[in-house]
Chains A and B, each alone.
Chain A
Amino acid sequence: MTYMSIRNEWQKLVADGVLARLSPFIGDPAKRTVLMCPEVEEIINRPMEEGEEANRRVRLLAKLQNIVAGRHLVVCMTPYDARIANMGRLDPIEDCVWDIRCQDEPAVRVFCYFLEKDVLLAVTAWPRSVRMRWLGWLPLGDRYSKQWKRGIRVAKRHWGMYFPAEKPVCGDNLDEYLSNATPE
């Protein structure tokens, strides 16, 4: 029952224009759903001058549309163990916060939640190691940095704002999060 009500809630937030739904590249199927909080939507849609930053931004867009199209994903369920994964679960796992790992340099992390299977909420995007003007945050740095904790706090704050009465998908079963995905 909870599963159904969260679906109604996210669909209502999209219909009301509170959250944005990322459209697939035209002609691609929409096998998964990526919802964007205003910060991520603004990053994706803001006009940008040509250059390295615009190039990095479109690679991020391609990565997110890749998820929407249902392409194969490698997922790391154990925090700090990810090497090649496209997505990883963050520490502490009880918070149910994930990141989309855009590894090509300069690397970007998008903090996200799973609302239900194959439905993600992209909350906020942070630079991994190198400061990027087009992302408003300081780089996350190494695993012990305060920035990681801050990023997770930001994600949790957004969740509480949009879905105060709901819980994101949690647990150790990858099949409850994603289709067409394998663990790292």
Chain B
Amino acid sequence: MSTFQTQLLSELEAGHDGAPISESTLVFLRERFRTRFFDFLMTRFNSGRACGLNKAKLARRIRKPPEVINRWLGAPSNLTLDSISDLMAGISAEEPEMGGSKLLNRSPTNYFPLAGFDVSNTSDQEAELKSPPLPAANPTSNRTAKIRFFRQ
């Protein structure tokens, strides 16, 4: 775990009466939030493309010029709550379902750090088994968008 991540968790653990959370921690979490939401929207958009959706159709559906769609789907920093609502309506006729997930006390998932691990006698086959798995297939066609960013 990086030094920064350790600092982040200890700041959050301090609770409501703790010292102010550092600016860099807040910036980091904002960046994560934007990129995760952007990833969610792009996944939905790419699923829609398989059914004939394109940016021009999306622009027409939500009454926006094509250049606005390009901007919104171009970078996470261009999203706002209003644009997210419009995009979800136009892409998949959905709205986000609200929920939170604690940042503290999470279990690591499939991360295997390797540092200090003896790989000198590892066969090719074993090496393959220890590498990170390929991503799972792309998401769902659920009509309700349940935003579950973390394993429960």
A11 with B114: CB separation less than 8 A: yes
> Is B22 an interface residue, CB under 8 A from the partner?
yes
Q: Which residues of A contact B141 (CB under 8 A)?
A: none
On chain A, the number of residues with a Cβ less than 8 Å from chain B's Cβ atoms is: 51
B109 with A29: CB separation less than 8 A: yes
B4 with A27: CB separation less than 8 A: no
With A and B bound together, what is the CA distance between A179 and B131 in angstroms?
A: 15
B119 with A103: CB separation less than 8 A: no
Count of A-B residue pairs with CB < 8 Å: 138
With A and B bound together, what is the CA distance between A44 and B107 in angstroms?
A: 22
A4 with B75: CB separation less than 8 A: no
With A and B bound together, what is the CA distance between A180 and B137 in angstroms?
A: 9
Task: Scan residues 1-45 of chain B and give those whose CB is less than 8 A from a CB of chain A.
Answer: 1-5, 9, 22-25, 27-28, 31-32, 35-36, 38-39, 42-43
> Closest approach, in angstroms, between the C-beta of A152 and any C-beta of chain B?
25
A interface vs B, CB < 8 Å? 4-5, 7-8, 11-12, 14-15, 17, 20-33, 44-45, 47-48, 50-51, 54-55, 57-59, 61-63, 65-66, 70-72, 83-84, 103-104, 118-119, 179-180, 182
CB-CB nearest 3 A-B residue pairs: A27-B106, A4-B124, A62-B31
